[in-house]
Amino acid sequence: MNFLQTFYPNRYENSTYSIDFEKLYKEGIRGLIFDIDNTLVPHGFPADHKAIELFDNLRKIGFKCCLLSNNKEPRVKMFNEDINVDYIFKANKPKRSGYRKAMNLMGTDVKTTVFVGDQLFTDVWGAKRTGIYSILVKPINPKEEIQIVLKRYVEKIVLFFYKKHLKKITK
């Protein structure tokens, strides 16, 4: 494995809202951990109708869900008001501890949990370091904080090689 593969997600999707969650449930997944900003809503936005409907559907399917964010509690709590799932703020992703705590809250383990997020160097890398299947989604909104904008340039390089790698293994 080359160094860049450390950051490769298990899957890459256009959107959180295009993921086939029913299929994941049939495959044995019982817990879903989500990043918030640019994964579920644009950065800083409250939960919108789409997000509320998603979590209602996930509950109906049978999933336990947890939000895992590096944001402070007021941001995460505000988003979660209409979602009403477990959450962890100031998670210090990519540290493993937040991911482990999320699984503990949901009563799942690395084999029955999937992480969904929009950043390679925090979300995906943290999930991979913990042993959790990761789904990278395209950011919802290109308007981001400067430190994230800078990381996106490096992410583009990693994603270029990731896509090349996928073509090679699907031939």
Asked if the model's pLDDT at residue 146 lies above 70, the reply is: no
Which amino acid, 137?
V
Average pLDDT score over residue span 77-86 = 97
At residue 47, the pLDDT reads: 97
What domains can you pick out in the chain, each with its CATH number? 3-169 (3.40.50.1000)
Name which of 69, 13, 14, 12 is nearest 44 in CA terms.
69
The whole-chain average pLDDT of the chain stands at: 92
Give kind and range of the element (H or E) at residue 115.
strand 113-117
SS3 of 143, please? coil
Structure tokens at 144: 């981001």
pTM of the complete model: 0.91
SS3 of 64, please? strand
Asked if the model's pLDDT at residue 103 lies above 80, the reply is: yes
Model confidence pLDDT, tens digit, residues 11-64:
999 999 999 999 999 999 999 999 999 999 998 999 999 999 999 999 999 999
Task: Please report which confidence band the pLDDT of residue 160 belongs to, taking 50, 70 and 90 as the band edges.
Answer: confident
At residue 1, the pLDDT reads: 58
Higher pLDDT, 147 or 107: 107
Phi-psi region of 44 (alpha: psi -120 to 50; beta: other; left: phi over 0): left
Name which of 76, 4, 72 is nearest 34 in CA terms.
76
Q: What are the angstrom distances between the C-alpha of 33 and each of 1, 97, 149? A: 26, 13, 23
